[in-house]
Amino acid sequence: MSQERLSMRKISEALRLKWTCGLSNRAIGRSCQISHSTVSEYLKCAEVAGLKWPLPEGLDEDSLYRLLFPEKVAGQLAVRVLPDWEEVHKELKKRHVTLRLLWTEYREDHPDGYGYSQYCDLYRRYVRKLNPPMRQNHKAGEKLFVDYAGDTVPITDPETGEVRQAQIFVATMGASSYTYAEAQTSQEMPHWIGGHVRAQAFFGGVTQIIVPDNLAQGVKRACRYEPDLNPTYLEMAQHYGVAVIPARVRRPRDKAKVEVGVQVVERWILARLRNRTFFSLAELNRAIVRLLEELNNRPMKHLGKSRKQLFEELDQPALRPLPQTPFEYAAWKTARVNIDYHVEFEKHFYSVPYELIHQEVRIRASERMIEIFHKSKPESVAIHPRSSVPGRYSTQTAHMPIKHQKAGEWTPERLQRWAEDIGPHTCQMIQAILTSRRHPEQAFRSCLGILRLSTLYARSQMETACQMAREEKELNYRGVKAVLELLPPASPSENPSLPTHENIRGNSYYQ
């Protein structure tokens, strides 16, 4: 019986080929992909039923089958059990569950039940009656949809009265529609990534796929078939072991789940907050948390269960565990190594091995660290603590050429201590020279030259020369030396004393 029902839609085609084309039963069987004995049975039943070609107008396949096999239809209707389509729809959301598997289980319980073809047809009819958001058959724990709401919420600065608009980040589970929402200062990359991190912590696990819109934050180059992900977004995906599959351009149905989630958040959360005045982002997020809990616990009319109940039944058991540590946001920047083997990030300079001079590197800047990568190598070529001091240098001795490493034994602090021993104007001159150069080491030679002049000139002369040179903006060794040569000689008591040493001959040697 099931084989006959499986071929039911091919009955009229078999009759047409016989009565209009005059084909043999075997040829008809090959064309319709049924046996020639089945074709023979169809023709005998049609003859008994008194049918001729063309068939009566308005006679569909079901009616044709009832005319050809009245006894079988009557017996079938007496014992056939209709599947629980709501349960079938829920089971299909579980991983690795297919319609054929469910049909097999159904036939094990009801051997005289519907055939696979009609089982599938009846299920599709059931699905068409559901609300549009439920038509997509999302597997449990498979997809997380993310987007920003179109509506924003004003936040008023209590001191200045300035009003800024908070952005609303929304994440929705595919199978259960369990929803997360939070307010953010902007849609910039740090907030976009932070929303993902907090959303996955809220769900307590990781899905297989994240489906974002083609936002500039997440997608560097929008393309229908092969969008390029932002490097930071890709790094976040790798940290959690998820695949990011952006929605296709101008294909809103690719992310219909979050579109509906955004709509629900706007109607059941943002609309309820429309008459409240918020003075901080934290205050707004506290209000969202309370209403979000109500939203997820509210039963959905078309399913009779809440989003939280469905999440606990479907998505939660299928989620993969979170990594031991949450993802730490890091910005990426491409830079070229300068001649002083340093690269710049936010106006601070970090050293790399001098062999990379003039080459292109990639900088990864997290909250605490700066990592520098060369080409496609996975290992970093340099790591520095992140500094917020502009115009300064972070230099590692190992990155210097050999001839620079000896100079590296000197530090700005050591030079300033020497200058303080001479006097305040000399110290100010050394400080001015150090800060006037892009790289402190570029000033060391000039500073050492000036400080060594103190072995030839008195302290009063050094102080006067450094003061005059600084006033004239002559921040270099030559400027100080030129002033010293114009000053009158110091008194004998102020002359710098030469160090004693056994190899110094003295004035009596030349008499």
The torsion of the CA quartet 186, 190, 193, 198, rounded to 10 degrees, works out to: -80
pLDDT of 336: 92
Show the tokens assigned to 34.
């049924």
Per-residue pLDDT tens for 348-394? 889 999 889 889 999 998 878 899 999 867 788 999 998 878 877 88
Residue 3 has pLDDT above 50, yes or no: no
By the 8 A CB rule, do 296 and 178 touch? yes
**How would residue 101 be classed by pLDDT, with cut points 50, 70 and 90?**
confident
Higher pLDDT, 444 or 322: 322
Domain spans of the chain, in order of start? 2-79, 85-129, 143-318, 330-403, 410-494
pLDDT tens column, 386-425: 887 887 788 888 888 776 555 455 678 888 888 988 999 9
Q: Which CATH number fits domain 330-403: 3.30.70, 2.60.120, 3.40.50, 2.40.50?
A: 2.40.50
Rounded mean pLDDT of 65-74? 66
Q: N- to C-terminal Cα distance for the chain?
A: 135
Same fold, 143-318 and 330-403: no
Higher pLDDT, 113 or 132: 113
**pLDDT tens profile 7-57:** 455 777 778 778 877 778 887 877 777 788 888 888 888 888 777 777 777
CA–CA separation, 209 and 190 (whole Å): 21
Residue 202 has pLDDT above 90, yes or no: yes
473-499: average pLDDT:
78
Which amino acid, 182? E
Read off the amino acid at residue 76: Q
Which superfamily, per CATH, for 143-318?
A: Ribonuclease H-like superfamily/Ribonuclease H (3.30.420.10)
Burial class (CB in 10 A: 0-12, 13-18, 19+), 362: middle
Provide the pLDDT for residue 253. Answer: 53
User: Which residues does residue 336 pair with via DSSP β-bridges, in sequence order?
Assistant: 360
Q: Please report the pLDDT score of residue 496 as a whole number.
A: 61
Residue 264, both tokens:
């629900």
Asked whether residue 133 carries a pLDDT value surpassing 70, the answer given is no
What's the pLDDT at 214? Answer: 57
β-pairing, 209-212 vs 143-148, is parallel
Q: How many CA atoms does the CB half-sphere of 196 hold within 13 Å?
A: 33
Cis previous bond, 390, omega within 30: no
Give the pLDDT band of residue 449 (cuts 50, 70, 90).
confident
279 backbone dihedrals φ, ψ, rounded to 5°: -110, 0
Rounded average pLDDT over 460-485: 90
- Whether the CB-CB separation of 403 and 369 falls below 8 Å is answered with no
Higher pLDDT, 367 or 432: 432
Percent of the chain exceeding pLDDT 70 equals: 81
pLDDT digits (tens, 9 = 90+) for 295-345: 999 988 777 889 999 999 989 999 999 999 888 888 888 999 887 788 999
The structure's pTM equals 0.51
Higher model confidence: residue 245 or residue 373? 373
pLDDT band at 199 (very low <50, low <70, confident <90, very high): very high
Percent of the chain with pLDDT over 90: 24
Q: Which of 271, 262, 278, 267 lies closest to 165, judged by CA?
A: 278
Specify the pLDDT at position 181: 94
Helix (H, G, I), strand (E, B) or coil at 184: strand
Is the pLDDT at 252 greater than 90? The verdict is no
The predicted pLDDT at position 352 comes to: 92
pLDDT score at 164:
92
Is the predicted pLDDT of residue 91 greater than 80, yes or no?
yes
Residues forming a β-bridge with 207: none
Whose tokens are 């972070």? That residue is: 394
Contact status, residue 432 vs residue 443, Cβ threshold 8 Å: no
Is pLDDT above 90 for 290?
yes
Average pLDDT for 186-195: 89
The DSSP line for 238-250 is HHHT-EE-PPPTT
Looking at residue 511, its pLDDT comes to: 44
pLDDT value at residue 335 = 92
Q: Which two tokens stand for residue 215?
A: 């936002």
Average pLDDT of every residue of the chain: 80
